[in-house]
Protein backbone atom coordinates (compact mmCIF):
# COMPACT_ATOMS: atom_id res chain seq x y z
CA UNK A 1 0.00 0.00 0.00
CA UNK A 2 1.60 3.21 -1.14
CA UNK A 3 -0.81 5.65 0.48
CA UNK A 4 -2.55 5.25 3.81
CA UNK A 5 -5.99 6.85 3.72
CA UNK A 6 -6.39 9.04 6.80
CA UNK A 7 -9.23 11.34 7.73
CA UNK A 8 -8.15 14.93 8.38
CA UNK A 9 -9.87 17.43 10.63
CA UNK A 10 -9.56 20.67 8.65
CA UNK A 11 -12.14 22.76 10.50
CA UNK A 12 -10.96 26.40 10.58
CA UNK A 13 -7.55 25.36 9.29
CA UNK A 14 -5.73 27.61 6.82
CA UNK A 15 -5.42 25.95 3.46
CA UNK A 16 -3.70 27.48 0.46
CA UNK A 17 -4.88 26.66 -3.03
CA UNK A 18 -2.70 27.98 -5.84
CA UNK A 19 -4.69 28.10 -9.06
CA UNK A 20 -8.39 28.50 -9.68
CA UNK A 21 -9.25 26.34 -12.67
CA UNK A 22 -11.79 23.50 -12.71
CA UNK A 23 -9.55 21.05 -10.91
CA UNK A 24 -8.71 23.57 -8.20
CA UNK A 25 -12.37 24.36 -7.77
CA UNK A 26 -13.26 20.72 -7.25
CA UNK A 27 -10.64 20.45 -4.53
CA UNK A 28 -11.84 23.70 -3.00
CA UNK A 29 -15.37 22.40 -2.66
CA UNK A 30 -14.13 19.36 -0.75
CA UNK A 31 -11.97 21.56 1.47
CA UNK A 32 -14.94 23.78 2.24
CA UNK A 33 -17.12 20.81 3.03
CA UNK A 34 -14.52 19.85 5.61
CA UNK A 35 -14.75 23.32 7.12
CA UNK A 36 -11.33 24.63 6.04
CA UNK A 37 -10.50 28.34 5.70
CA UNK A 38 -9.35 28.46 2.08
CA UNK A 39 -7.09 31.08 0.52
CA UNK A 40 -6.97 31.00 -3.26
CA UNK A 41 -4.08 32.62 -5.10
CA UNK A 42 -4.46 33.03 -8.87
CA UNK A 43 -4.10 35.94 -11.27
CA UNK A 44 -7.36 35.02 -12.96
CA UNK A 45 -9.36 33.83 -9.99
CA UNK A 46 -12.83 34.39 -11.30
CA UNK A 47 -14.20 32.01 -8.73
CA UNK A 48 -17.69 30.72 -9.12
CA UNK A 49 -17.45 29.47 -5.57
CA UNK A 50 -19.04 32.05 -3.45
CA UNK A 51 -18.30 31.26 0.13
CA UNK A 52 -17.26 33.51 2.98
CA UNK A 53 -14.58 31.00 3.95
CA UNK A 54 -12.71 31.60 0.69
CA UNK A 55 -10.26 34.44 0.52
CA UNK A 56 -9.38 35.22 -3.05
CA UNK A 57 -6.06 36.82 -3.94
CA UNK A 58 -6.20 37.95 -7.53
CA UNK A 59 -2.49 37.92 -8.27
CA UNK A 60 0.41 35.60 -9.07
CA UNK A 61 1.75 33.31 -6.39
CA UNK A 62 4.62 34.55 -4.22
CA UNK A 63 6.66 32.58 -1.72
CA UNK A 64 5.16 34.40 1.23
CA UNK A 65 1.83 32.72 0.36
CA UNK A 66 3.20 29.62 1.99
CA UNK A 67 3.42 31.17 5.44
CA UNK A 68 1.28 29.76 8.24
CA UNK A 69 -0.51 27.08 6.25
CA UNK A 70 -1.88 23.78 7.29
CA UNK A 71 -2.22 22.22 3.93
CA UNK A 72 -1.38 23.28 0.37
CA UNK A 73 -3.00 22.36 -2.94
CA UNK A 74 -1.19 23.34 -6.13
CA UNK A 75 -3.24 23.40 -9.32
CA UNK A 76 -2.03 26.06 -11.73
CA UNK A 77 -1.77 25.28 -15.44
CA UNK A 78 2.01 25.72 -15.27
CA UNK A 79 3.56 22.32 -14.54
CA UNK A 80 6.98 23.74 -13.75
CA UNK A 81 5.59 26.23 -11.28
CA UNK A 82 3.46 23.50 -9.69
CA UNK A 83 6.52 21.37 -9.03
CA UNK A 84 8.44 24.33 -7.66
CA UNK A 85 5.68 25.32 -5.22
CA UNK A 86 5.25 21.66 -4.27
CA UNK A 87 8.92 21.30 -3.42
CA UNK A 88 8.96 24.48 -1.38
CA UNK A 89 5.83 23.51 0.54
CA UNK A 90 7.26 20.09 1.30
CA UNK A 91 10.50 21.65 2.48
CA UNK A 92 8.46 23.73 4.90
CA UNK A 93 6.86 20.55 6.20
CA UNK A 94 3.35 21.07 4.84
CA UNK A 95 0.96 18.50 3.57
CA UNK A 96 0.93 19.27 -0.13
CA UNK A 97 -0.93 17.98 -3.14
CA UNK A 98 0.19 18.93 -6.60
CA UNK A 99 -2.76 17.90 -8.73
CA UNK A 100 -2.15 15.08 -11.18
CA UNK A 101 1.44 14.78 -9.97
CA UNK A 102 1.65 12.30 -7.09
CA UNK A 103 5.47 12.31 -7.32
CA UNK A 104 5.56 15.98 -6.30
CA UNK A 105 2.94 15.52 -3.56
CA UNK A 106 2.98 13.99 -0.13
CA UNK A 107 -0.75 13.35 -0.12
CA UNK A 108 -3.32 12.70 -2.79
CA UNK A 109 -7.08 13.19 -2.81
CA UNK A 110 -8.91 9.89 -2.84
CA UNK A 111 -12.22 9.53 -4.64
CA UNK A 112 -14.89 10.04 -2.02
CA UNK A 113 -18.33 8.61 -1.44
CA UNK A 114 -19.94 11.02 0.95
CA UNK A 115 -23.04 10.93 3.08
CA UNK A 116 -22.35 13.80 5.44
CA UNK A 117 -19.95 12.64 8.11
CA UNK A 118 -20.07 9.10 6.75
CA UNK A 119 -17.39 8.87 4.07
CA UNK A 120 -15.66 6.19 2.03
CA UNK A 121 -12.29 6.99 0.45
CA UNK A 122 -11.12 5.13 -2.66
CA UNK A 123 -7.66 5.38 -4.15
CA UNK A 124 -5.49 3.56 -6.64
CA UNK A 125 -2.45 5.60 -5.56
CA UNK A 126 -3.03 7.68 -8.66
CA UNK A 127 -2.34 4.69 -10.91
CA UNK A 128 -5.75 4.01 -12.38
CA UNK A 129 -8.16 6.94 -12.20
CA UNK A 130 -10.78 5.21 -14.33
CA UNK A 131 -10.75 2.19 -12.04
CA UNK A 132 -11.12 4.48 -9.04
CA UNK A 133 -14.04 6.29 -10.66
CA UNK A 134 -15.70 2.99 -11.53
CA UNK A 135 -15.54 1.81 -7.92
CA UNK A 136 -16.65 5.15 -6.60
CA UNK A 137 -19.74 4.96 -8.80
CA UNK A 138 -20.39 1.35 -7.88
CA UNK A 139 -20.03 1.90 -4.15
CA UNK A 140 -21.98 5.12 -4.34
CA UNK A 141 -24.92 3.22 -5.76
CA UNK A 142 -24.82 0.78 -2.84
CA UNK A 143 -24.78 3.32 -0.03
CA UNK A 144 -28.24 4.56 0.95
CA UNK A 145 -28.72 8.23 0.10
CA UNK A 146 -29.84 9.09 3.62
CA UNK A 147 -27.33 6.99 5.49
CA UNK A 148 -26.18 10.08 7.32
CA UNK A 149 -29.35 10.22 9.42
CA UNK A 150 -28.84 6.61 10.53
CA UNK A 151 -25.16 7.22 11.24
CA UNK A 152 -26.05 10.30 13.31
CA UNK A 153 -28.68 8.43 15.29
CA UNK A 154 -26.26 5.60 16.05
CA UNK A 155 -23.70 8.13 17.23
CA UNK A 156 -26.18 9.78 19.58
CA UNK A 157 -27.31 6.39 20.84
CA UNK A 158 -23.93 5.03 21.89
CA UNK A 159 -24.08 6.19 25.48
CA UNK A 160 -27.53 4.68 25.96
CA UNK A 161 -26.27 1.31 24.75
CA UNK A 162 -23.24 1.58 27.00
CA UNK A 163 -25.40 2.22 30.01
CA UNK A 164 -27.56 -0.85 29.37
CA UNK A 165 -25.07 -3.42 28.07
CA UNK A 166 -22.02 -4.11 30.19
CA UNK A 167 -19.59 -5.85 27.84
CA UNK A 168 -18.00 -4.92 24.54
CA UNK A 169 -19.12 -8.23 23.02
CA UNK A 170 -22.75 -7.70 23.97
CA UNK A 171 -22.70 -4.14 22.68
CA UNK A 172 -21.22 -5.22 19.38
CA UNK A 173 -23.78 -7.97 19.03
CA UNK A 174 -26.57 -5.49 19.74
CA UNK A 175 -25.28 -3.11 17.07
CA UNK A 176 -24.97 -5.95 14.61
CA UNK A 177 -28.54 -7.01 15.28
CA UNK A 178 -29.86 -3.57 14.29
CA UNK A 179 -27.33 -2.15 11.89
CA UNK A 180 -28.88 -3.55 8.75
CA UNK A 181 -32.38 -4.04 10.11
CA UNK A 182 -35.63 -2.36 9.21
CA UNK A 183 -34.88 0.26 11.88
CA UNK A 184 -32.25 1.62 9.49
CA UNK A 185 -34.95 2.03 6.83
CA UNK A 186 -37.06 3.82 9.40
CA UNK A 187 -34.17 6.18 10.14
CA UNK A 188 -34.00 7.20 6.49
CA UNK A 189 -37.64 8.27 6.77
CA UNK A 190 -38.04 9.47 10.33
CA UNK A 191 -35.24 9.39 12.86
CA UNK A 192 -37.52 10.01 15.88
CA UNK A 193 -39.51 6.90 15.14
CA UNK A 194 -36.30 5.00 14.51
CA UNK A 195 -35.02 6.11 17.92
CA UNK A 196 -38.19 4.76 19.59
CA UNK A 197 -37.68 1.44 17.86
CA UNK A 198 -34.04 1.36 18.93
CA UNK A 199 -35.20 1.82 22.55
CA UNK A 200 -37.51 -1.15 22.24
CA UNK A 201 -34.88 -3.30 20.52
CA UNK A 202 -32.33 -2.45 23.20
CA UNK A 203 -34.69 -3.32 26.05
CA UNK A 204 -35.54 -6.63 24.41
CA UNK A 205 -31.87 -7.35 23.80
CA UNK A 206 -30.82 -6.54 27.38
CA UNK A 207 -33.55 -8.81 28.69
CA UNK A 208 -32.82 -11.75 26.41
CA UNK A 209 -29.69 -13.59 27.45
CA UNK A 210 -29.37 -15.94 24.50
CA UNK A 211 -27.21 -13.39 22.71
CA UNK A 212 -24.48 -14.06 25.24
CA UNK A 213 -24.21 -17.60 23.97
CA UNK A 214 -21.31 -18.71 21.86
CA UNK A 215 -21.64 -20.49 18.52
CA UNK A 216 -19.43 -22.40 16.12
CA UNK A 217 -19.44 -22.00 12.36
CA UNK A 218 -17.60 -24.71 10.50
CA UNK A 219 -16.90 -22.95 7.23
CA UNK A 220 -15.68 -24.43 3.97
CA UNK A 221 -13.37 -21.84 2.41
CA UNK A 222 -12.97 -23.52 -0.97
CA UNK A 223 -9.67 -24.46 -2.61
CA UNK A 224 -7.96 -21.06 -2.76
CA UNK A 225 -9.57 -18.52 -5.07
CA UNK A 226 -11.42 -16.22 -2.64
CA UNK A 227 -14.26 -15.83 -5.13
CA UNK A 228 -15.10 -19.48 -4.64
CA UNK A 229 -16.37 -18.80 -1.12
CA UNK A 230 -20.15 -18.97 -0.78
CA UNK A 231 -22.19 -15.96 0.33
CA UNK A 232 -23.01 -17.78 3.52
CA UNK A 233 -19.35 -18.50 4.22
CA UNK A 234 -18.48 -14.82 3.88
CA UNK A 235 -21.43 -13.67 5.96
CA UNK A 236 -20.75 -16.03 8.86
CA UNK A 237 -17.00 -15.43 8.72
CA UNK A 238 -17.67 -11.73 9.14
CA UNK A 239 -19.75 -12.39 12.22
CA UNK A 240 -17.06 -14.40 13.94
CA UNK A 241 -15.21 -13.01 16.95
CA UNK A 242 -12.56 -15.70 16.86
CA UNK A 243 -11.27 -17.28 13.65
CA UNK A 244 -9.37 -20.56 13.65
CA UNK A 245 -7.65 -21.22 10.36
CA UNK A 246 -5.02 -23.50 8.96
CA UNK A 247 -2.44 -23.52 6.22
CA UNK A 248 -4.76 -24.55 3.41
CA UNK A 249 -6.83 -21.40 3.71
CA UNK A 250 -5.61 -18.54 1.50
CA UNK A 251 -4.59 -15.35 3.37
CA UNK A 252 -7.06 -13.26 1.31
CA UNK A 253 -9.83 -15.44 2.68
CA UNK A 254 -8.65 -15.27 6.28
CA UNK A 255 -8.52 -11.48 5.83
CA UNK A 256 -12.22 -11.40 5.01
CA UNK A 257 -12.87 -11.75 8.72
CA UNK A 258 -13.44 -8.75 10.91
CA UNK A 259 -10.47 -6.54 11.75
CA UNK A 260 -11.23 -6.81 15.44
CA UNK A 261 -11.62 -10.59 15.42
CA UNK A 262 -9.03 -12.74 17.13
CA UNK A 263 -7.14 -14.91 14.65
CA UNK A 264 -5.68 -18.22 15.77
CA UNK A 265 -3.48 -20.25 13.46
CA UNK A 266 -3.92 -23.94 14.12
CA UNK A 267 -2.05 -24.92 10.95
CA UNK A 268 -1.62 -28.43 9.85
CA UNK A 269 0.91 -29.90 7.56
CA UNK A 270 1.61 -33.56 6.95
CA UNK A 271 4.04 -34.53 9.73
CA UNK A 272 3.96 -31.08 11.33
CA UNK A 273 0.84 -30.51 13.36
CA UNK A 274 1.02 -27.08 14.92
CA UNK A 275 -1.86 -28.00 17.21
CA UNK A 276 -2.83 -31.64 17.57
CA UNK A 277 -6.41 -32.34 16.52
CA UNK A 278 -7.69 -32.89 20.06
CA UNK A 279 -6.25 -29.53 21.13
CA UNK A 280 -8.08 -27.82 18.28
CA UNK A 281 -11.31 -29.50 19.38
CA UNK A 282 -10.75 -28.44 23.00
CA UNK A 283 -9.88 -24.88 22.05
CA UNK A 284 -12.98 -24.53 19.92
CA UNK A 285 -15.16 -25.86 22.72
CA UNK A 286 -13.61 -23.59 25.32
CA UNK A 287 -14.03 -20.48 23.18
CA UNK A 288 -17.66 -21.30 22.44
CA UNK A 289 -18.37 -22.01 26.13
CA UNK A 290 -16.85 -18.62 26.93
CA UNK A 291 -19.60 -17.14 24.75
CA UNK A 292 -17.49 -16.44 21.67
CA UNK A 293 -18.71 -16.75 18.11
CA UNK A 294 -16.10 -18.98 16.58
CA UNK A 295 -15.44 -19.58 12.89
CA UNK A 296 -13.46 -22.66 12.03
CA UNK A 297 -12.22 -22.07 8.49
CA UNK A 298 -11.37 -25.17 6.53
CA UNK A 299 -9.85 -25.49 3.11
CA UNK A 300 -12.28 -26.88 0.54
CA UNK A 301 -15.27 -28.59 2.08
CA UNK A 302 -15.21 -29.33 5.81
CA UNK A 303 -16.80 -32.73 5.31
CA UNK A 304 -14.38 -33.94 2.64
CA UNK A 305 -11.16 -35.09 4.28
CA UNK A 306 -11.59 -32.16 6.61
CA UNK A 307 -12.28 -33.88 9.93
CA UNK A 308 -15.30 -31.61 10.17
CA UNK A 309 -17.43 -34.20 11.92
CA UNK A 310 -14.78 -34.85 14.58
CA UNK A 311 -14.40 -31.18 15.31
CA UNK A 312 -18.13 -30.82 15.82
CA UNK A 313 -18.63 -33.79 18.14
CA UNK A 314 -17.82 -31.88 21.33
CA UNK A 315 -19.76 -28.87 20.18
CA UNK A 316 -22.86 -30.96 19.62
CA UNK A 317 -22.41 -32.74 22.98
CA UNK A 318 -22.18 -29.39 24.75
CA UNK A 319 -25.36 -28.18 23.05
CA UNK A 320 -23.64 -25.23 21.45
CA UNK A 321 -25.39 -23.78 18.41
CA UNK A 322 -23.47 -24.46 15.21
CA UNK A 323 -23.61 -24.11 11.44
CA UNK A 324 -21.87 -26.13 8.76
CA UNK A 325 -21.14 -24.27 5.55
CA UNK A 326 -20.18 -26.49 2.64
CA UNK A 327 -17.33 -25.35 0.44
CA UNK A 328 -16.08 -26.13 -3.04
CA UNK A 329 -13.84 -29.11 -2.56
CA UNK A 330 -10.38 -29.25 -4.13
CA UNK A 331 -11.56 -31.84 -6.68
CA UNK A 332 -14.21 -29.51 -8.11
CA UNK A 333 -12.08 -26.41 -7.93
CA UNK A 334 -8.89 -27.91 -9.36
CA UNK A 335 -10.70 -29.85 -12.08
CA UNK A 336 -12.58 -26.78 -13.29
CA UNK A 337 -9.53 -24.54 -13.22
CA UNK A 338 -7.47 -27.15 -15.05
CA UNK A 339 -10.12 -27.70 -17.72
CA UNK A 340 -10.72 -31.32 -16.74
CA UNK A 341 -14.35 -32.45 -16.38
CA UNK A 342 -14.59 -35.02 -13.58
CA UNK A 343 -17.29 -36.92 -15.43
CA UNK A 344 -18.07 -37.07 -19.13
CA UNK A 345 -20.52 -39.23 -21.03
CA UNK A 346 -17.78 -40.68 -23.24
CA UNK A 347 -15.10 -41.05 -20.56
CA UNK A 348 -16.28 -41.47 -17.00
CA UNK A 349 -19.64 -42.19 -15.43
CA UNK A 350 -18.49 -41.85 -11.86
CA UNK A 351 -15.84 -40.16 -9.79
CA UNK A 352 -14.23 -41.16 -6.51
CA UNK A 353 -12.52 -38.97 -3.96
CA UNK A 354 -9.78 -40.97 -2.27
CA UNK A 355 -7.51 -40.16 0.68
CA UNK A 356 -4.07 -40.98 -0.71
CA UNK A 357 -1.85 -40.40 2.30
CA UNK A 358 0.45 -43.24 3.15
CA UNK A 359 0.32 -45.28 6.28
CA UNK A 360 3.67 -46.96 6.91
CA UNK A 361 4.68 -46.18 3.35
CA UNK A 362 1.65 -47.93 1.94
CA UNK A 363 -1.78 -46.52 1.20
CA UNK A 364 -4.11 -49.09 2.70
CA UNK A 365 -6.83 -48.93 0.10
CA UNK A 366 -9.21 -51.35 -1.62
CA UNK A 367 -7.24 -51.12 -4.87
CA UNK A 368 -9.35 -53.63 -6.79
CA UNK A 369 -12.32 -51.29 -6.46
CA UNK A 370 -10.44 -48.77 -8.63
CA UNK A 371 -10.13 -51.03 -11.65
CA UNK A 372 -13.04 -49.61 -13.65
CA UNK A 373 -11.57 -47.51 -16.48
CA UNK A 374 -14.74 -45.44 -16.71
CA UNK A 375 -14.27 -44.10 -13.22
CA UNK A 376 -12.30 -40.91 -12.51
CA UNK A 377 -10.13 -41.14 -9.41
CA UNK A 378 -9.20 -38.08 -7.42
CA UNK A 379 -6.53 -38.55 -4.79
CA UNK A 380 -6.24 -35.98 -2.04
CA UNK A 381 -3.01 -35.88 0.01
CA UNK A 382 -1.50 -38.33 -2.45
CA UNK A 383 1.69 -36.63 -3.58
CA UNK A 384 4.05 -38.62 -1.40
CA UNK A 385 2.35 -41.86 -2.35
CA UNK A 386 2.14 -41.18 -6.09
CA UNK A 387 4.49 -44.00 -6.90
CA UNK A 388 2.46 -46.52 -4.94
CA UNK A 389 -0.80 -45.22 -6.36
CA UNK A 390 0.35 -45.64 -9.98
CA UNK A 391 1.89 -49.05 -9.35
CA UNK A 392 -1.18 -50.43 -7.57
CA UNK A 393 -3.57 -49.10 -10.20
CA UNK A 394 -1.61 -50.81 -12.97
CA UNK A 395 -1.59 -54.01 -10.91
CA UNK A 396 -5.39 -54.05 -10.66
CA UNK A 397 -5.72 -53.59 -14.41
CA UNK A 398 -5.72 -49.88 -15.16
CA UNK A 399 -4.09 -49.26 -18.52
CA UNK A 400 -0.51 -47.95 -18.27
CA UNK A 401 -1.41 -45.11 -20.63
CA UNK A 402 -4.22 -43.83 -18.38
CA UNK A 403 -3.70 -40.06 -18.16
CA UNK A 404 -2.83 -38.48 -14.85
CA UNK A 405 -2.89 -34.80 -13.88
CA UNK A 406 -1.24 -33.20 -10.89
CA UNK A 407 -2.86 -29.89 -10.00
CA UNK A 408 -0.61 -27.90 -7.73
CA UNK A 409 -2.06 -24.98 -5.71
CA UNK A 410 -5.21 -25.24 -7.79
CA UNK A 411 -7.42 -22.18 -8.37
CA UNK A 412 -4.72 -19.82 -7.04
CA UNK A 413 -2.62 -17.51 -9.23
CA UNK A 414 0.22 -20.02 -8.71
CA UNK A 415 -1.67 -22.98 -10.08
CA UNK A 416 0.44 -25.45 -12.06
CA UNK A 417 -0.87 -28.45 -13.91
CA UNK A 418 1.41 -31.37 -14.77
CA UNK A 419 0.18 -34.21 -16.94
CA UNK A 420 1.50 -37.63 -17.78
CA UNK A 421 0.36 -41.24 -17.62
CA UNK A 422 0.42 -43.89 -14.92
CA UNK A 423 3.90 -44.85 -16.13
CA UNK A 424 5.36 -41.39 -16.75
CA UNK A 425 3.87 -39.13 -14.09
CA UNK A 426 6.43 -40.04 -11.42
CA UNK A 427 9.20 -38.83 -13.74
CA UNK A 428 7.29 -35.58 -14.25
CA UNK A 429 7.01 -35.27 -10.49
CA UNK A 430 10.71 -35.78 -9.88
CA UNK A 431 11.68 -33.39 -12.70
CA UNK A 432 9.60 -30.53 -11.32
CA UNK A 433 9.57 -29.40 -7.79
CA UNK A 434 5.86 -30.11 -7.22
CA UNK A 435 4.71 -29.03 -3.78
CA UNK A 436 1.67 -29.49 -1.57
CA UNK A 437 -1.17 -28.88 -1.83
CA UNK A 438 -1.47 -30.94 -4.96
CA UNK A 439 -4.40 -32.94 -6.18
CA UNK A 440 -4.06 -36.03 -8.37
CA UNK A 441 -6.69 -36.68 -11.03
CA UNK A 442 -6.55 -40.02 -12.82
CA UNK A 443 -8.70 -41.19 -15.73
CA UNK A 444 -9.32 -40.63 -19.39
CA UNK A 445 -11.12 -37.33 -18.65
CA UNK A 446 -7.65 -35.86 -18.08
CA UNK A 447 -7.03 -36.11 -21.83
CA UNK A 448 -9.74 -33.50 -22.34
CA UNK A 449 -7.73 -30.80 -20.62
CA UNK A 450 -6.20 -29.50 -23.83
CA UNK A 451 -9.57 -29.17 -25.54
CA UNK A 452 -10.92 -27.39 -22.51
CA UNK A 453 -7.89 -25.33 -21.61
CA UNK A 454 -9.71 -22.27 -22.82
CA UNK A 455 -8.03 -19.80 -20.57
CA UNK A 456 -4.42 -20.37 -21.31
CA UNK A 457 -4.05 -22.79 -18.41
CA UNK A 458 -0.39 -23.57 -18.01
CA UNK A 459 0.16 -27.28 -18.47
CA UNK A 460 3.45 -29.12 -18.18
CA UNK A 461 3.88 -32.57 -19.75
Q: Which stretch binds ligand SAH (CB under 6 A): 10-18, 59-67, 104-112, 430-438?
A: 430-438
Report the nearest approach of ligand SAH to the CB of residue 436 (Å).
Answer: 5
Report the nearest approach of ligand SAH to the CB of residue 443 (Å).
Answer: 16
339 interacts with ligand SAH by CB under 6 A: no
334 interacts with ligand SAH by CB under 6 A: yes
Q: Which residue is nearest to ligand SAH (CB)?
A: 300
Nearer to ligand SAH, 110 or 226 (CB): 226
Among 386, 248, 408, which Cα is nearest to 334's?
Answer: 408
Angle at 256 between CA 254 and CA 260, to 5 degrees: 90
Q: Are 339 and 448 in contact (CB under 8 A)?
A: yes
416 interacts with ligand SAH by CB under 6 A: no
Among 81, 73, 62, 95, which Cα is nearest to 23's?
Answer: 73
246 assigned to active site: yes
301 interacts with ligand SAH by CB under 6 A: yes
190 assigned to active site: no
Nearer to ligand SAH, 351 or 439 (CB): 439
Query: Which of the following is catalytic: 65, 225, 246, 301?
Result: 246
Contacts of 32 (CB under 8 A, 6+ apart): 38, 49, 51, 53, 54
Q: What is the DSSP string of 152-170?
A: HHHHHHHHHHHHH--SHHH
27 interacts with ligand SAH by CB under 6 A: no
Among 304, 452, 454, 461, which Cα is nearest to 378's?
Answer: 304
Q: Which stretch binds ligand SAH (CB under 6 A): 157-165, 177-185, 302-310, 397-405?
A: 302-310
Answer for which of 253, 381, 389, 422 binds ligand SAH (CB under 6 A) is 381
266 interacts with ligand SAH by CB under 6 A: no
Q: How far is CA 168 from CA 2, 206, 292, in A?
A: 33, 13, 12
Answer for which of 86, 299, 339, 341 binds ligand SAH (CB under 6 A) is 299
Q: Alpha helices, DSSP H only, in 143-209?
A: 147-164, 168-179, 182-189, 191-207
Answer for which of 205, 305, 370, 418 binds ligand SAH (CB under 6 A) is 305
Could you give the count of Cα atoms lying within 13 Å of 29 in the half-sphere of its Cβ? Answer: 11
330 interacts with ligand SAH by CB under 6 A: yes
Q: Alpha helices, DSSP H only, in 249-367?
A: 251-254, 277-289, 308-317, 330-338
Angle at 280 between CA 278 and CA 283, to 5 degrees: 110
Interface contacts to ligand SAH, rule CB under 6 A:
223-224, 248, 298-301, 304-306, 329-330, 334, 380-381, 407, 409-411, 436-439
The residues carrying an active-site annotation are 246, 268
Amino acid sequence: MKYLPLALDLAEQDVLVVGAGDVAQRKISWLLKAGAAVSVVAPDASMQLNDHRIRIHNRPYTESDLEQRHLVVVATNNAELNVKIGQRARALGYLVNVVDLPAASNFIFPAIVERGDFTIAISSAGNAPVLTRYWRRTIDALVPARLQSWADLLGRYRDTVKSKLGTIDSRRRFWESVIDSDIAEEAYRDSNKAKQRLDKALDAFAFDHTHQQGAVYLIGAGPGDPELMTFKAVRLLQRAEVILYDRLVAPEIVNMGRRDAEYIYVGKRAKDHTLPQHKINELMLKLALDGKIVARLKGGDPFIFGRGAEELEHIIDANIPFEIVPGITAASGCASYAGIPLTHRDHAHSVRFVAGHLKDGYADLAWSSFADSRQTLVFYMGLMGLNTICRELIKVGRDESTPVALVERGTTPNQQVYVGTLTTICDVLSKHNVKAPTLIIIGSVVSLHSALAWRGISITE
